[in-house]
Homo-oligomer: A and B are copies of this chain.
Amino acid sequence: MNTTNSVLVFFTLSLLFSSSLGAVQDFCVGDLKGPQSPAGYSCKTKVTVDDFVYHGLGVKGNTTNIIKAAVTPAFDAQFPGVNGLGISMARADLAPGGVIPFHTHPGGSEILIVLEGTLCAGFVSSSANQVFFKTLNKGDVMVFPQGLLHFQLNSGKGEALFIVGFNSPNPGLQITDFALFKNDLPTELVAATTFLDVAQIKKLKGVLGGTG
Contact = CB atoms under 8 A, between A and B. Distances in A.
A107 B25 contact: yes
21 contacts: A3-B66, A8-B65, A8-B66, A10-B209, A11-B65, A12-B67, A15-B61, A24-B41, A25-B168, A28-B37, A36-B43, A49-B133, A86-B109, A99-B192, A101-B193, A104-B104, A111-B165, A126-B179, A131-B183, A153-B192, A196-B196
A148 B19 contact: no
Contacts of A141: 53-57, 74, 79, 89
Interface residues of A, number: 151
B22 A170 contact: yes
Chain copies in the assembled complex: 6
A122 interface: yes
